């Protein structure tokens, strides 16, 4: 079971959005657990917390830094604590990991050896840092986008409050992974900050932090952070509460209070925004509705756009937005799936970085392991060319988003081949045509596409989304 399903199962079964921080903080340990052996006292306290809360929360979140601060005994305590958590409860390791050099090996350690379900990451080294964690389709990452520390305001509010940097972090990180694999961590007492993040990321799970610094603020935080279904927001159990001898009773009261607030502010599910077809075209293209949706949400634009190659096209396609629209993203995955189900392969490979969310979604759907060739080979750490586990001789189906010149997908495929993998098929969503499939064939690859640019432009013209001049500009390009 992947993290998203595991979390939602616990939210449903325990009727709780609460999570507990399992932090061995010597400054917070209750007097009844204090002893000459600090590690033993902390262990007894943590075991008490787990026993008292397991039936009333949705997740545990141990903070790695507290365990590291205790040295080797602290790491041993971490392993004991992880082993004590019931298997059905998801574990979010609060690591705030930020080192690009160790991202690959750390991802393997925490997800395969420590067997945690999710991890918190710092965003500042970009998608290069996050990608090795997303190779594990059953796990998830949470990107720290905002902190309550007053000293961070000068950075987070830059350049000004109307367009603060933390919102840019939210906007960019949404393109790194699917809603099932990538959430956000927000530390704030300001409901307006949480509301602004929720508006940009309505589909993401948000871990709330530091919300208890102001009394009477809970309802405002819930109103700002919950999604239209009354969930999507994980609430921390107050740290002060974890020292109470009657913890079980206290946490049940808090759960009841939160659920009462949820019931008051849940929106009618029928009011959620759903795209519906607004035209009827004779002999419609099989993917007509999908094409129109892509245009309507801004994935397809017309004008004069300079491409990465330097060429100027009368249109521009940006598929990164689809992962923030579940309705469209689901249809895109289904379209890929129709092609992939007729192919033979052992693993999927996404081409960095645009197609990694799609490849991850397909990996989950098809129950097929995923790998990816690095866009650039690291000059540090393990110097891996390929991220993820594989065996030489296996057959890999390559997934990419847009086929323009074929250069990037062939470079990626060659890296996979250099590692002893067999590449027969390359599957893309949009083919810009102009003989690219033929060039791939000459290099030994069979290319498949869901759509061609001609099909897209013709459908948009027939539907009245683009005018005659825009259609003519495409034909002349």
Residues flagged as binding site for 5-phospho-alpha-D-ribose 1-diphosphate: 374-375, 378, 380, 400-408
Known catalytic membership, residue 96:
yes
3-state SS, residue 352 = coil
| Owner of token pair 């081409």 | 351
Distances (CA, A) of 252 to 14, 181, 265: 10, 29, 20
> DSSP labels for 125-191?
T-HHHHHHHHT-TT-EEEEEEE---GGGHHHHT-S-TTS-HHHHHHHHHTTTS-TTTEEEEEE-S-H
| Owner of token pair 């590692």 | 419
Q: In what order do the strands lie in the sheet with 422-431?
A: 386-387, 370-373, 347-350, 395-403, 422-431, 446-452
C-beta atoms surrounding 146 within 10 Å: 26
Closest CA to 356 of 419, 305, 412, 394: 412
Beta strands 422-431 and 446-452: pairing type? parallel
Longest dimension (CA), the chain: 82
**CA-CA-CA-CA torsion for 65, 70, 72, 73, nearest 10 degrees?**
-120
| Owner of token pair 């305590």 | 77
Alpha helical stretches, state H, 282-355: 288-296, 326-340
Q: Write a three-state SS string for 374-424.
A: CCCCCCCCCCCCEECCCCCCCEEEEEEEEECCCHHHHHHHHHHHHCCCEEE
> DSSP labels for 74-137?
HHHHHHHHHHHS-TTS-BEEEEEE--GGGHHHHHHIIIIIS--SEEEE-STT-HHHHHHHHT-T
Q: Which of 6, 96, 174, 422 is catalytic?
A: 96
Q: Work out whether the CA dihedral 278, 282, 288, 292 comes out positive or negative.
A: negative
Token pair for 362: 């397909």
Distances (CA, A) of 79 to 37, 40, 66, 68, 222: 18, 14, 13, 12, 33
Q: Any idea which residues carry the catalytic annotation?
A: 96
């Amino acid at each position: 079971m992947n993290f998203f399903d595991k979390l939602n199962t616990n939210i449903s079964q325990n009727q709780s959005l609460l999570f507990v921080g399992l932090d061995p903080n010597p400054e917070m340990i209750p007097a009844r657990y204090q002893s000459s052996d600090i590690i033993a006292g902390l262990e007894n306290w943590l075991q008490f917390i787990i026993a008292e809360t397991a039936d009333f929360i949705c997740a545990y979140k141990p903070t790695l830094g507290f365990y590291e601060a205790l040295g080797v005994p602290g790491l041993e305590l971490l392993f004991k604590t992880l082993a004590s958590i019931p298997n059905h409860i998801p574990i979010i390791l609060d690591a705030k990991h930020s080192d690009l050099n160790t991202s690959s090996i750390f991802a393997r350690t925490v997800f395969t050896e420590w067997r945690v379900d999710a991890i918190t990451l710092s965003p500042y080294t970009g998608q290069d840092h996050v990608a090795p964690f997303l190779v594990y389709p059953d796990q998830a990452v949470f990107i720290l986008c905002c902190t309550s520390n007053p000293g961070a305001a000068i950075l987070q509010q830059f350049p000004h409050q109307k367009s603060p940097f933390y919102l840019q972090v939210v906007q960019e990180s949404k393109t790194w992974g699917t809603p099932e694999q990538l959430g956000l961590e927000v530390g704030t007492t300001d409901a307006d900050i949480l509301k602004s993040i929720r508006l940009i990321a309505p589909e993401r799970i948000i871990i709330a932090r530091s919300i208890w610094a102001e009394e009477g603020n809970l309802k405002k935080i819930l109103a700002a952070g919950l999604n239209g279904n009354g969930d999507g927001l994980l609430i921390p159990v107050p740290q002060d509460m974890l020292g109470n001898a009657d913890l079980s009773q206290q946490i049940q009261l808090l759960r009841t209070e939160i659920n009462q607030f949820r019931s008051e502010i849940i929106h009618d599910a029928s009011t959620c925004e759903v795209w519906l077809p607004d035209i009827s075209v004779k002999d419609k293209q099989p993917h007509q509705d999908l094409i129109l949706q892509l245009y309507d949400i801004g994935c397809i634009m017309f004008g004069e756009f300079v491409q990465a190659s330097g060429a100027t096209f009368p249109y521009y396609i940006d598929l990164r937005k689809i992962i923030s629209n579940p309705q469209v993203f689901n249809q895109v995955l289904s379209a890929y799936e129709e092609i992939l189900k007729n192919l033979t392969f052992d693993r999927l490979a996404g081409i960095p970085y645009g197609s990694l969310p799609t490849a991850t979604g397909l990996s989950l759907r098809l129950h097929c392991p995923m790998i990816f060739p690095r866009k650039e080979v690291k000059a540090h750490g393990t110097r891996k060319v390929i991220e993820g586990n594989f065996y030489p001789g296996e057959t890999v189906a390559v997934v990419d988003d847009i086929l323009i010149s074929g250069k990037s997908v062939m470079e990626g495929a060659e890296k996979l081949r250099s590692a002893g993998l067999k590449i027969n098929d390359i599957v893309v969503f949009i083919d810009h045509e102009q003989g690219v499939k033929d060039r791939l064939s000459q290099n030994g690859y069979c290319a498949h596409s869901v759509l061609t640019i001609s099909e897209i432009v013709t459908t948009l013209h027939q539907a009245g989304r683009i005018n005659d001049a825009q259609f003519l500009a495409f034909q002349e390009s």
